[in-house]
Structure 1
């Protein structure tokens, strides 16, 4: 372990596109950790990120000795500084980069104009010519992190949760060590159940098999497909990326978050199958023709769209005997649609089924898959609380409709009622 220095060196996280160095001693007692050096035309340079973190953590002299941050980070992030001062690297040393990369990777939403602004140095969405484009979720990522790093604790948590049927137990607060941590596997798994739709078979061994299958399918999608870089969710992926890089040298491919009109142009001339709990509302938009009249100043390109129902299995809803059974049923319903007619693009908005089913469809039916989560319903003209003001200044208000999932228990409890 490196010795602590009595000198003080301040580290600031900066974004300097014209500077190639990872970190730059400024000559004023400040080292600039330059995020621009980690971003290239092909996406995020994960190898460079990890070598830089290891260098800073293992060599205090690289930053002139004692290291502090002054960017107003919380006490949780300051734990990263302590790791640097002690000259050791661990998962906790990624906390600072989680925060920093979340600020700069992917795309930034312009809340004034209700639009998206592309960030340079990440592969633009429109240039992803082949394969699937998927967006991960922070609820799912926390369980994936546990599956990779503390698997025994995750399955022990499953056994405990299997005996819980009351709301107080299912919605009990987390006991994390930090707000970006996943070190409360019980809460992470409960959150996957209450918010994203994973549910347990009454057979405990089958429930474990279902969870393992879900994790493996989700991981396969993460490492095989192009991921939409989302600043909100990115911090929850860094520990997963760190683990996969350390174990197998695996890295992720990212593209920018697509704007609405980029998405529509991507669908132009295609035959599209969409899976969503709001399928009947989307089909209503197609049948009425309102879908192609959503905007005042944009002419929607022509494409064929059919929507089919996705299961709603957020706790306590149980459409079948467990997640594995519902996933198999969903796959069969999709297979039947492809047998009836070919589709060029598969799109989904269906919680924790999303990445696994997108990967399944692309592999079995040879089409491209796109998963952006719940936002996709709004892109097809169906609004909920979370998207009530979506593109409001450019929308033909009369052409949009409200979705309704109120028949499902506890939907209003998910993230303050965002899906109502």
Structure 2
């Protein structure tokens, strides 16, 4: 059983199928150095990955098994383990990224029976296709098809996991062995148990108000489950049954972007919809945006939340991305790279799909639409509480005036540490 992005024992169809077979099961995770050499070694995600694997190992040991940890090329490591254990069949989750497809092709050349199961998304990419097309290019018809499809049953956690005799799990690597960076100071802990606790608490206490309140920046009524879903610590299929309609729609957006990326593997590198004109090259403005020092409070609050928590409220993601691409005219790929560096839930398909949607190069039916950051602030942070939470220089400004500190008299405005806007705003 090769774990990839399904680091859980609950509702894991591949693990459940493997454990139904007669004989021992070898649960394995392989640290691929080809991935660790690139942006996938972002400190926040490495921290959560190690949390998730430690938690998964503890769960498997509680079932009588263990997690076998290896480092290197996944195909070569699986081949060694198969020879060592006389394995005849390999189980893994169905994943459709370009990297995952190359990995699967290599695994299928090993001579094992390869059994691929759902679990990464609610609806696997390719299961829903429009008449005469290979994938949906517009969300609304996809959403209707997604809501109508019959979902697979939720898989029960295995009752027992038996390792072959004499097989050792091997140690998990240290954080510093995988990345040179430092995680965000307020990064949440990862792992299935932490994710299921968060899921249960949110469903019990806040989910009922999600549809009306998820855009309220200061209210922070989002589920904060995105990183657990990204690593497969929480099952998106399980949430599709338990969550409210507005949250199901967010899960459908995630699936939508995954099916777009499966059909257009260059989604994170190339415009899905060709764009006319050139992007601006403004390194100073880009640096100010990254640091949360643009002088536009609602933008800076979002960017500072990202650096502090490895998370950003979904409405703030839209505002900050629109400001970079539409207001400053900077290439969406620069913003995508920064988000990939810091987001604990950084998912290539979903992240790139959303950036392209905002920039007008993706699947938006209104590619010319731009968000005015001041109107967004007035609508979604009307009292300024979200800004004051993350931009302490403005903590002394009362009410909605915090969104326009440059219009205040000098004796009422922010201190000198907070910059003027990087461009003139009305």
TM-score (norm 1): 0.28
Instruction: Report 1 or 2 for greater relative contact order, CA contacts < 8 Å, sequence distance ≥ 6.
Output: 2
TM-score (norm 2): 0.27
More strand by share: 1
